[in-house]
Amino acid sequence: MANGGWCAPLLVSISVALITYNIIISSHATLNPIRSSTSSSFPRDPVIRMPIDLPKPRRLFHTAVTASDSVYNTWQCRVMYYWFKKARAAGGPYSDMGGFTRILHSGHPDRFMDEIPTFVADPLPAGTDQGYIVLNRPWAFVQWLQKANIEEEYIFMSEPDHIIVKPIPNLAKQDFAAAFPFFYIEPNKYESVLRKYFPEDKGKITDIDPIGNSPVIIEKASLAKIAPTWMNISLAMKKDPETDKAFGWVLEMYAYAVASALHGVGNILHKDFMIQPPFDVEVGDKYIIHFTYGCDYDLEGHLTYGKIGQWRFDKRSYDLHPPPRNLALPPKGAAQSVATLVKMVNEATENIPDWDAYVSGSKS
């Protein structure tokens, strides 16, 4: 028992010493890590940061516009191409907007070939269009698709009276084209007429979308299939008195809608594709201004549609000569879309070289 009395204190002292030693060694190791002279042969893995907001793969589309060599079509094409270039540049390196072609269906070059990239197509044989010049549009597309070297896999069919407000993305998705729905294309209303070209065994009448050929973004391969059918149906519709009377100036639009349905190409309908002043009063977040309607206002800014206003902008006023520079803006109270349209026309004519001489020469 006497020996056990002195052993216990001794064991406690030794334990405390060991614990203290371990604490000192551990703290020293933490503060001063061992550095091997050969550590350079074992480099640390670099830290690679994941990129943020990777750009989406580009799905380029080629913009195509059909036109005659008339003054009326030409000045619109010049303005349209000016704004196409600005929109494409604003889209930056990842824009889906690719090349541009004016498909000129006059059969011969004109003096604007160097200004606007142009493919010259043959017109329909004399008398075939029966005064409805738009029938040349599908025939012109058939020729262009067959003969031109088009690098892009998508086509954006546009028109001379389109002004592009901002960069347009490729709105087509997978096997679906992208199109604008027109309120006046009504397949249900004209089912009995349309069944001549779209029989019941081809599908429901609602399979025909309320579209025209423009604005449309579509796969090039799909358009190559649709275009000949579109042309043939357009010609057949024009030859049929009942159809011609029913559809009038939008006959070729119905023909495209039917051809698209016959080939099983569906369309995503984008109401925000474009606006049509003066009825659409704000540009908002839309991509295109389509100036197909005349814009008439009194001096208080009230719309006088159907009656020539004290202020007006109507593309048909410039069928024989181009609009001059610095058109007067609409009166206060007029639609913002109309004011924007005139400002954009003015900017284009201000910057397109020799516009004044062009106007003067067209009047002579």
Is residue 80 in a domain? yes
Are residues 226 and 93 located together in one domain of the fold? yes
Are residues 338 and 315 located together in one domain of the fold? yes
Q: What is the CATH number of the domain that holds 266?
A: 3.90.550.10
Q: Distances from the Cα of 188 to the Cαs of 49, 185, 192, 209, in angstroms?
A: 56, 9, 9, 10
Is residue 24 in a domain? no
Is residue 334 in a domain? yes
Q: Is the peptide bond before 331 cis (omega within 30 degrees of 0)?
A: no
Is residue 329 in a domain? yes
Among residues 275, 304, 326, the one where a domain terminates is: 275
Q: What is the pTM of this model?
A: 0.84
* Encoded amino acid at 17, one letter: A
Per-residue pLDDT of the chain (364 residues; tens, 9 = 90+): 444 444 444 344 444 444 444 443 444 444 344 344 444 444 555 555 655 566 678 899 999 999 999 999 999 999 999 999 999 999 999 999 999 999 999 999 999 999 999 999 999 999 999 999 999 999 999 999 999 999 999 999 999 999 999 999 999 998 899 999 999 999 999 999 999 999 999 999 999 999 999 999 999 999 999 999 999 999 999 999 999 999 999 999 999 999 999 999 999 999 999 999 999 999 999 999 999 999 999 999 999 988 999 999 999 999 999 999 999 999 999 999 999 999 999 999 999 999 999 999 886 5
CA distance 159 to 321: 19
Is residue 175 in a domain? yes
Q: Is the peptide bond before 323 cis (omega within 30 degrees of 0)?
A: no
Is residue 88 in a domain? yes
Q: Which residues pair with 101 in a beta bridge?
A: 64
**171: nearest Cα among 158, 154, 193:** 154
pLDDT of the residue at 51: 55
Are residues 309 and 266 located together in one domain of the fold? no
pLDDT of the residue at 10: 38
Are residues 265 and 166 located together in one domain of the fold? yes
**Total number of domains in the chain:** 2
pLDDT of the residue at 17: 44
Give the tens place of pLDDT for each residue, 65-85: 999 999 999 999 999 999 999
Among residues 242, 275, 308, the one where a domain terminates is: 275
Are residues 151 and 78 located together in one domain of the fold? yes
Are residues 70 and 158 located together in one domain of the fold? yes
Are residues 294 and 270 located together in one domain of the fold? no
Structural domain boundaries, residue 264:
61-275
Are residues 263 and 211 located together in one domain of the fold? yes
Is residue 1 in a domain? no
**229: nearest Cα among 177, 204, 265, 267:** 265
Are residues 119 and 226 located together in one domain of the fold? yes
Are residues 351 and 219 located together in one domain of the fold? no
Are residues 178 and 239 located together in one domain of the fold? yes
Among residues 275, 298, 330, the one where a domain terminates is: 275
Is residue 39 in a domain? no
Are residues 266 and 126 located together in one domain of the fold? yes
